[in-house]
Amino acid sequence: MVRWLHPAQFIRTSMDAIVAAVFGARADQRLIEAVVRPQEPYFDYSQVEDEQGSFWLDYVADTGDGWDSTYCIARLLALPALEVGAQGGPQHVIPRGRVLIFGGDAVYPGASRDMYEARLIQPYEAAMRRTHPPSPDLFVIPGNHDWYDGLAAFMRLFCAHRWVAGRRTRQSRSYFALKLPQGWWLLGTDVQLDSDIDVPQVEYFRQVAALMGPEDRVILCNAEPAWIRATSATRRRGYLESNLDYLQEKVLGKRISVFIAGDLHHYRRHEEPGGRQKITAGGGGAFLHPTHAPPAKELLDGYVEKKSFPDEQASRRLALNNLLLIRYSPLFGLITGTLYLLLALAAYAEVGHLGTSRFLEVLSAVGHSMIARPWTMVLGVATIASLAAFADVAFGRWRWLMGSLHGLAHIVAAFFCAWGATYFTVSGLGICPEVTPDGLYCVGGWLHLAGRFLLSTLFTFVFGFLVGPFVTGFYLWVSVNGFLAHSNEAFGSLASPDWKNFLRLRIDPDGGLTLYPVGVERVPRNWKETHAGPYAPAYEPDDPKATGPILIEEPIRL
């Protein structure tokens, strides 16, 4: 799994996000697509049915992270059929879809040819390199991580009519429309980085809508679940403020029966009294997101949450793992260790011979050192200010207070780590057998001043390496469980490969649509080769602790 708090990864991802945010809107490839990449008004599957007269389609989003999680779902999607059931319910045999939709963020942490190959193509080709005719087709919606390179690698891989893991790619643009049997349509949009779509894309879907019959119904696939974001937004968007709103409300309107999105790496289903569905299904391989934050029990437009995977209780319990943050992100301690060392060096004072009984004298000595070195205050204020700016906007009016308390907690922890390190070096190791008459400075001993300094510096860094992640983990745990904030950071830090999901959809001969949400609670960590050839998965689970696929809930029928 991608270790988001690894120092190098943290810096690289931050730079990618900044560059994409600054230049993304000014280098919008979708406008060029509309001019130089002709695409059919829609891809016609309206006459494609199996022996029972049904049409099957698969949807998976947020793939391309760790091997275990990505391959686990890729293998289930590759099997000719699955036999699954909800807990205590009947078993259902659901065959592989004729079409596979990647619903956004096909690779992590950012898009590149090598990253797609290592984290997406190789796991999916290990699951199925070839297929017998008629081969399934593949359509892909880009997410924000696909946009980090300006969509260059995405267009080369998915918009060039290639074969990918036994499936044909047919789209020429980053958005598409599928005409399905029995008056159903599936539209896949490209919302780029600003949760919006461009004008040529609106016109494309307006032309598609003009081809629909009065009773036709739409499955709308977006890269992000705007309905969940809106419930916790600090600023309410105006009516039809964006092109995406215009498409949904004015162009498609009541034709939309199902909204599907990824981006949040879990399963959550909302339903309105009339039966329309809004489903978040971002469980293709990326780290787990909590289902209790951001809060969305009831959406602004009357939809009510019906099911989540994992449930809220399990989600809150998993958040507790942040207290052991160093276990899940061990190298994050390099950041906190360095910070604590810089803070200690900035306010260095010889207090190693002073124990807890002389705490006020220690404070006095450190305070005097800080006054003598003004840049110490600058570093302290910078620490608090940067962590206050890092605080999640979900805190609302408490944001700056919570962020400042987080920064202050690190400064206090750095103080005790540095004091403990110097005390252990000087007194614990017997390095300072003699002090000056005023009792404030160490003299003599079997190590000179430089030796004491270097040794206490080393211990300060080590203590910061161990203590700093706990302080951050405690802050994230309190934030996500107490204030429903920092949901991305609190669970991205854990990089959990478990609780994965995808959707399998069936259009019946009578025009009904049935959705089968398939979930895996614990993905395998070990695999064994099958030597089954290119038409079957190359590996099968070899982990007794792993759980098999289940239906997250009973099939949803529209």
Please give, one letter per residue, the 3-state secondary structure of 388-435.
Answer: HHHCCHHHHHHHHHHHHHHHHHHHHHHHHHHHHHHHHHHHHCCCCCEE
Which positions ≥6 away from 448 have C-beta within 8 Å?
Answer: none
Does position 530 have pLDDT exceeding 80, yes or no?
A: yes
SS3 456: helix
Q: What pLDDT, in 10s, does the model give residues 384-442?
A: 999 999 999 999 899 999 999 999 999 999 988 987 888 777 765 555 555 555 544 55
Question: Which of 168-182, 360-374, 394-408 is predicted with the least confidence, judged by mean pLDDT?
Answer: 360-374
Angle at CA of residue 103, ends 269 and 290, nearest 5°: 45
Token readout for 240 is 């039809």
Q: Are 86 and 549 in contact (CB under 8 A)?
A: no
Q: Which pLDDT belongs to residue 453? A: 78
Identify whether the C-beta of residue 190 lies closer than 8 Å to the C-beta of residue 201.
Answer: yes
pLDDT confidence of residue 22: 65
Over residues 446-475, mean pLDDT: 85
Q: Could you tell me where the beta strands, DSSP code E, fall in 80-120?
A: 81-84, 92-95, 99-102
**pTM score of the predicted model:** 0.91
- Strands (DSSP E) contained in 227-323 are 256-261, 267-271, 277-281, 304-309
Query: Helices 399-423 and 333-346 meet at what angle, rounded to 10?
Result: 70
Cα torsion 50, 519, 284, 479: sign:
positive
Burial class (CB in 10 A: 0-12, 13-18, 19+), 229: middle
With CA atoms as reference, report the closest residue to 418 among 332, 333, 341: 341
Q: Give the model confidence (pLDDT) of 328-359 as tens digits.
A: 998 999 999 999 999 888 777 666 566 666 77
Give the total residue count for the chain.
558
- Residue 410 near residue 339 (C-beta atoms within 8 A): yes
State what percent of residues in the chain have pLDDT above 90: 65
Contact 33, 142 (CB under 8 A): no
- The mean pLDDT value for 203-227 works out to 94
pLDDT at 490 over 50: yes
- Amino acid residing at 442: C
DSSP SS3 for 550 = strand
Amino acid at 373: R
What is the distance of C-alpha 356 from the center of its chain?
Answer: 44
Quickly tell me which residue has 């204020």 as its tokens: 381
Contacts 24+ apart (CB under 8 A), 333-336: 333/464, 333/465, 333/466, 333/468, 333/469, 334/7, 334/465, 335/5, 335/7, 335/10, 335/468, 336/410, 336/464, 336/465, 336/467, 336/468, 336/469, 336/471, 336/472
Give alpha helix (H) positions in 347-392: 359-372, 375-390
pLDDT in tens, 252-307: 989 999 999 999 999 999 999 989 999 999 999 999 999 999 999 999 888 999 99
pLDDT of the residue at 373: 77
Domains located in the chain, CATH noted: 7-288+498-557 (3.60.21.10), 323-490 (no CATH)
pLDDT for 240 equals 43
* Mean pLDDT rounded to a whole number for the chain: 88
Backbone dihedral region for residue 280 (phi beyond 0: left; psi -120 to 50: alpha; all else: beta) = beta
Dihedral (Cα; 438, 442, 445, 447), 10-degree rounding: -170
pLDDT above 50: residue 239 = no
Per-residue confidence (pLDDT) for residue 93, from 0 to 100: 96
State the Cα–Cα distance between residues 223 and 326, nearest whole angstrom: 32
Residue-wise pLDDT for 49-108, tens only, equals: 888 999 999 999 999 999 999 999 999 999 999 999 988 889 999 999 999 999 999 999
Looking at mean pLDDT, say which of 16-30, 114-128, 240-254 comes out highest: 114-128
